[in-house]
Amino acid sequence: MKYILASQSPRRRELIGMLGITFDIEPATGEERQVGDTPQEIVQNLAAAKAREIAAHHVGEETIVIGADTIVVCDGEILGKPKDRADMERMIRMLSGRTHEVYTGVAIDHITGNSEETDEVRTFAECTRVHFYPMSEEEIANYVAHSDGMDKAGAYGIQSDAAIYISGIEGDYQNVVGLPIARLYHELHRM
Q: Are strands 99-111 and 63-74 parallel, antiparallel or unpaired?
A: antiparallel
pTM score, whole prediction: 0.91
* pLDDT tens per residue, range 25-35: 999 987 777 78
At 120 the pLDDT is 82
- What letters, b where the CB count within 10 A reaches 16 and e where it falls short, cover 149-183? beebbbbbbbeeebeebeeebeebebbbbbbbbeb
Exposed/middle/buried for 34, CB within 10 Å: 0-12, 13-18, 19+? middle
pLDDT digits (tens, 9 = 90+) for 91-149: 999 999 999 999 999 999 998 866 655 578 899 999 999 999 999 999 999 999 998 88
Q: Give the helix/strand (H/E) hosting 146.
A: helix 137-146
Which positions are catalytic?
A: 69
